[in-house]
Amino acid sequence: MLFRSSIAVLSLASTALATPVQLNARQNASSPCAAVSASVASQAATATPTVPAQLAYECITSVPLNKSAALDLVDATVPYFRWQSSTAWLKNPPEEYVEKVQEAVDVWGGLASIKSKIEGEEYENEFEFGWALYRLLQTTHDGHFVYIPDVIGTVFNWARPVPLVSISEDGTELPKPYVYPDILASSLGNASFAPSPIVAINGQDAQEYLENWSQYGSLQDRDALYNNVFYELAVISLGSSGSGMGTFTGGGRGRWVYPGPETELEFENGTTTTFTNYAKVLVPFDGITDGESLYKKWFTADKPSETEAVAASVSATATTSSTPTARATPAPGYPPPVIREAHNLIGGYYLEDDYSDIAVLSVPSFSSFGSTEPSFQDVGEQFLAAARAAGKKKLIVDVSANGGGLILQGYDLYKQLFPTLIGYAAGDRFRAFESTDLLGQKFSEISEGLPRTLDTDNETLLQLEYDIVSSLFNYQTDMDIEGNNFPSWEAKFGPLYQHGDNYTNLFRWNLSDVLTPVNSGGIYIHGYGNLTNFTQPFAAEDIVVVTDGYCASTCTIFSELMRQRAGVKYISLGGRPRPGITQAIGGVKGTNNYPWTYIQALAQYTITELSTPEEGAELNQTELGEYWSDVPFDRAAIGSSINVNFRDGIRDGDETNTPLQFVYEPSDCRILYTKEMTVDVTAIWKAVADTTWGGKSHCISGDLGGGYAKREVSKKEKTWEEKALYTRMAQWKRSMSIDDYPLDVFTNLKEAGLDGNAILYP
């Protein structure tokens, strides 16, 4: 199959041309927001209108600060911040983390300082306040800890019209940034063109500028953050559920950062080009005349509903296409798959010719995205079986761009690869404080009177199994780190005082639990229950994992299992233009995020549904009574996903109980991106295969040791399926064209439909 981009390519010229018209509209308008309104009105036929970034910035910063509403918001976040597992560690992180990863952040101190600045009227406008609150959480570089105030994310997403890539000329020299369309033209267009690297951006040294910009991303690792600035095939294959064309163009969390009016690129050949940055307008602007009217309409409790806002921004496309979940997501630069999930969340591929003994399992997500067939689990199972049957000898697992998804889907994939190995590598814990204690007491008490089963026709009981019995607030869910049941809630809760905070005792998933499907998105885990009769498809030394560092959340759980238990080697790609090794796993290593809405529901439900009126009234006087305010939800950006990191992962046997988030882990080998790798993902996989089993190392740092024998490609007869696949692959190679690579991919959680309980939302 050939996946041609069905998305219209937004040419750079059309964005640039639109600009003067909109600037004219501005001349007669009475305020920047009125000018945005006029411009939006003139783009009625456009799905997502755009305006120059500077105009949008002038509009959003003309929204006056409502001091009392800002104070209400800050106060209303407090109960939720308490659920963040790592505030004590963030304030006082290990030395190596500070040296190699990120600086310390005092979250509670920062919140207090925001509050005193509001009181002292130090914020000029609503945006300045919203930005401070957003950045307080973003600078923790804990991808699960997110709050996006309305003023930051409801109205505008920022963007730059030109995606970049970072490329090493020969795989050895440190990488330089290039304009991606230049690379496409020189790779797939007529041959004579030699792209020139970017040496300066807006007058600053390009490397410095881009490293600084990368810090606006969600990951903690600086090399992974650097990769996330750029256009990358694995990310593009996720469509609107990934980080778009990179943070430089406003993909992922770049969409909330004002990039300034223009981007000036100076190339090594002496040429300079200037682009006008723009903002996508996400909500209707009818009747908006100034910052005050924008505030009244969109930044209060009675703002239009999410559906109205979404309808306005997608109506033009919605009428002409089917639902986003029904359509296969294009994956430019990927060869025809053996089997793949429709949104490319997981897919299996073979390589050809000298590499025909290699199978590749590409896993850019652990989300299950509703119920597409074949399911995530099916794809893994069917592909591994097919690869074995076809006589493939080696397996590359590519987890680039993987922000996680469903925790147990991560465990399951590991157990598909290693059905007989131990099913845990880290213990979990969460903050032990009044709210979690009260919930645990209540959930545990109710569960004690109930069986643990899904095998029932009693709908009431089934609902209780889903809501209460299967919850980790029932002490009977999970095992202690010896693998035993906890005898009581007190035994699970602890607390253990450590590193300046109180935590529960460590616990592990019980993967044979009969209630596993409730927590896994519907699946049972390989190696347990009735899924025990599986043979390990590849030896550990015949498997290698490669990643761009964007491996977060469930991906880090999977990786902890793969590295600690199976001893599988990890290769990291790209990174900052600095020598040395980089980390392979650069995203949040917390093992479970909790949406704030879920926390609120837990507290309210316990008071109103799980308690007698008298008990409820009593509980309402405790900390559980502090979750009634809807202010955090009313003031969050429409369509955003707001979370805390609820569980820490602690490596099995780590006496210091350091959350994995704060542990630096170099990869086994670092490979740089070459030009070819940014247009053809098989170039990455071949470099990985050569490095691991081919006797030709591409590592610029690290190495895979002498343990890997050079492969011998057998000349065995191919099956007709393989022959047909190789024919399609050859056709794919011949027909690769610049038009396959979309330049209009943007993060859009409103249409992404991601699901998961350990997921970093882009």
- List residues binding ligand NAG (CB under 6 A): 24-25, 27-28, 66, 68-69, 72, 179, 182, 189-190, 195-196, 212, 215-216, 267, 269, 271, 450, 452, 458, 460-461, 464, 479, 483-485, 495, 497, 501-502, 510, 512-514, 524, 530-531, 533, 607-608, 616-617, 620, 625, 628
Torsion angle of alpha carbons 561, 563, 564, 565, nearest 10°? 60
Nearest distance in Å: CB 377, ligand NAG: 11
Residue partners of 409: CB distance under 8 A and separation at least 6: 366, 368, 376, 377, 520, 521, 523, 554
Q: Which is nearer to ligand NAG, 99 or 459 (CB)?
A: 459
Joined tokens for residue 131: 């930005």
d(CA 154, CA 430): 31
Q: Is 228 left (phi over 0), alpha (psi -120 to 50) or beta?
A: alpha
Nearest distance in Å: CB 722, ligand NAG: 23
Q: What does the DSSP 8-state code read for residue 625?
A: G
DSSP per residue, 66-81: -HHHHHHHHHHHHHHH
Nearest distance in Å: CB 738, ligand NAG: 6
d(CA 272, CA 266): 4
Nearest distance in Å: CB 281, ligand NAG: 18
Q: Which is nearer to ligand NAG, 258 or 598 (CB)?
A: 258
Nearest distance in Å: CB 24, ligand NAG: 4
Q: Which is nearer to ligand NAG, 299 or 685 (CB)?
A: 299
Q: Which is nearer to ligand NAG, 182 or 541 (CB)?
A: 182
Question: Rg of the chain's alpha carbons, rounded to an integer?
Answer: 26
Nearest distance in Å: CB 164, ligand NAG: 11
Q: Which is nearer to ligand NAG, 268 or 665 (CB)?
A: 268
Q: Which is nearer to ligand NAG, 382 or 512 (CB)?
A: 512
Nearest distance in Å: CB 639, ligand NAG: 23
Which residue shows structure tokens 């089963």? 453
Q: Which is nearer to ligand NAG, 197 or 753 (CB)?
A: 197
10 Å Cβ neighbour count for 704? 18
Nearest distance in Å: CB 362, ligand NAG: 25
Q: Which is nearer to ligand NAG, 195 or 242 (CB)?
A: 195
Of 157, 155, 107, the C-alpha closest to 132 is 107
Q: Which is nearer to ligand NAG, 32 or 324 (CB)?
A: 32
Nearest distance in Å: CB 431, ligand NAG: 8
Which parts of 248-391 fold into alpha helices (H)?
A: 291-298, 306-318, 376-389
Cβ–Cβ < 8 Å for 65, 271 = no
Q: Which is nearer to ligand NAG, 66 or 240 (CB)?
A: 66
Which parts of 204-305 fold into alpha helices (H)?
A: 206-214, 222-227, 233-236, 291-298
Instruction: Starting at the earlier edge strand, list the strands of the sheet with 204-205.
Output: 204-205, 198-201, 262-267, 272-276
Nearest distance in Å: CB 48, ligand NAG: 22
Joined tokens for residue 226: 């650097």
Q: Which is nearer to ligand NAG, 194 or 326 (CB)?
A: 194
φ, ψ at 76 (rounded to 5°): -75, -15
Q: Which is nearer to ligand NAG, 378 or 751 (CB)?
A: 378
Q: Which is nearer to ligand NAG, 319 or 484 (CB)?
A: 484
What is the sign of the dihedral through the CA atoms of 690, 694, 700 and 705? Answer: positive
For residues 112-136, b (16+ Cβ closer than 10 Å) or e, as one string?
A: eebeebbeeeebebbbebbbbbbbb
Nearest distance in Å: CB 571, ligand NAG: 28
Q: Which amino acid is at 79?
A: P
Nearest distance in Å: CB 234, ligand NAG: 24
Cβ–Cβ < 8 Å for 351, 683 = no
Strand pairing category for 394-398 and 358-362: parallel
- Kind plus residue range of the DSSP H or E element containing 600: helix 596-608
Q: Directed axis angle between helix 291-298 and helix 32-41, to 10°?
A: 70
Instruction: Starting at the earlier edge strand, list the strands of the sheet with 50-52.
Output: 50-52, 278-281, 156-159
Nearest distance in Å: CB 238, ligand NAG: 24
Q: Which is nearer to ligand NAG, 25 or 229 (CB)?
A: 25
Nearest distance in Å: CB 457, ligand NAG: 9
10 Å Cβ neighbour count for 198? 23
Q: Which is nearer to ligand NAG, 483 or 653 (CB)?
A: 483
Q: In a 3-state reduction of DSSP, which class is residue 633? A: helix
Nearest distance in Å: CB 269, ligand NAG: 4
Q: Which is nearer to ligand NAG, 197 or 666 (CB)?
A: 197
What is the sign of the dihedral through the CA atoms of 469, 470, 474 and 476? Answer: positive
Q: Which is nearer to ligand NAG, 187 or 362 (CB)?
A: 187
Nearest distance in Å: CB 691, ligand NAG: 30
Nearest distance in Å: CB 146, ligand NAG: 16
Q: Which amino acid is at 596?
A: W
Closest residue to ligand NAG, based on beta-carbon distance: 196
Nearest distance in Å: CB 563, ligand NAG: 25
Of 509, 551, 583, 548, the C-alpha closest to 404 is 551
Q: Is 379 left (phi over 0), alpha (psi -120 to 50) or beta?
A: alpha
In angstroms, what CA-CA distances link 420 with 93, 336, 412, 456, 525?
Answer: 36, 32, 12, 31, 12
Cβ–Cβ < 8 Å for 165, 662 = no
- Kind plus residue range of the DSSP H or E element containing 727: helix 720-735
Q: Which is nearer to ligand NAG, 65 or 754 (CB)?
A: 65
